[in-house]
Amino acid sequence: MPLQGREWYLEGVDSRVPLVGLTAQEIAERLAPREDARWRAKQIAKWVYGKAVADFDAMRDLPATLRAELAEAFTVDPLTVARHAKSSDGVEKLLVHRGDGQVYECVLLPYEDRVSCCLSSQVGCPMGCTFCATGLGGFDRNLSAAEIVGQYLLLQRLTTRRIGHVVFMGMGEPLLNLDNVLKAIGLLHDEVGLSLRHITVSTVGLVPQIRRLSQTGLPIHLALSLHAARDEVRERLMPVNKKWPVAEVVAAMRAHQKATGRKVTFEVLLIADVNDSTEDAAAMSRLVRGFPCIVNLIPFNYVDTEQGFSRPSANRIRAFRGVLESAGVTVTQRVERGHDIAAACGQLAGEHVGRFAKRGVPVGVR
């Protein structure tokens, strides 16, 4: 019996509907009126999400006739890989698209004790942060839940180890695409089987959306790209601060921590002679101490934004960290990886030239 697909997916592209993005229940609805639709849908979802299989022929416990019907009506993935780069330190980065010429990035991050991945939520980003490679290219559109989860599955196929941690710190502002991000988180939890406590969402500080996320009660980890404790400094780096200044956005993060019981993280990108002084550190410690949180220091990874930004010296970074720790603030420092493959968000997309490149933004990498 013919399966229920969609009439079109993208004009001029494969018209079969991707299974990635559908729940097991939604797959069952598309298999109807087969009597075994619910059971077969569970099997298919296990192959697609649990085992990250991309080929119907590999779904060995399905009848050959069903596999043939599936191949006619569906594809597995919504995404195509435009470029695959692998770093000398094991980091792998994919530049992907869905057939519309708009590329975006995802990154595989293997560690000794775990495997993590970084996913994008938008094509480009509208927030205009002055230090960010993604922001250089402007904004095209939101990604669907299928395109978000599709990134995870493409990365999972690159490793025999299970990817157990997901961070939404790729291209885009996740809270501007909150509906699709929440649907993707649901798929990652319900279908892939990830713990919600191993999912991190990063934001530049959209206060209404932070409050909405708090109301869901999801025990995911929330990270704020804070970068400066003083409004005059943060406004230079992040235009969003003009709408939601430091005190307001930190208050929203405190409320989120109280609502969820999870520690929050404040990301601080240290830029030489901009926000890396001991005075900046003292202001940061006064702002964030007194509730469960972590300050994550990120020494600037060079991007040519025409701002003349540069990386602080090791001594300046050490001094900044010392001020925070002496005030009782929990501090971490990001392990930097993937420099040789332009692993900072937006860098690979900015360098990409070819059939699928639309952005055409030159990004310098050192």
Please, are residues 162 and 97 in contact by the beta-carbon 8 Å criterion?
no
Specify the 3-state DSSP secondary structure of 163: coil
Q: What is the DSSP string of 14-50?
A: --SEESTT--HHHHHHHHTT-TTHHHHHHHHHIIIII
Entry field: residues in the chain: 366
| Phi/psi of residue 360, nearest 5 degrees | 60, 35
Residue (of 238, 293, 236) closest to 260 by Cα position: 293
Give the separation between CA 222 and CA 215, rounded to whole angstroms. 13
Strand locations in 98-136 (E): 104-110, 115-118, 122-124
For the question of residue 105 being annotated catalytic, the response is yes
Helix intervals (H) in the chain? 24-31, 37-45, 64-73, 133-136, 145-156, 178-187, 207-216, 231-237, 246-260, 278-288, 314-326, 347-351
End-to-end CA distance of the chain: 57
Q: Which listed residue (173, 293, 345, 351) is catalytic?
A: 345
Residue (of 36, 31, 35, 44) closest to 4 by Cα position: 31
Cis peptide bond prior to 33, omega within 30° of 0: yes
Q: Which listed residue (105, 147, 173, 267) is catalytic?
A: 105
Q: Which residues are catalytic?
A: 105, 345
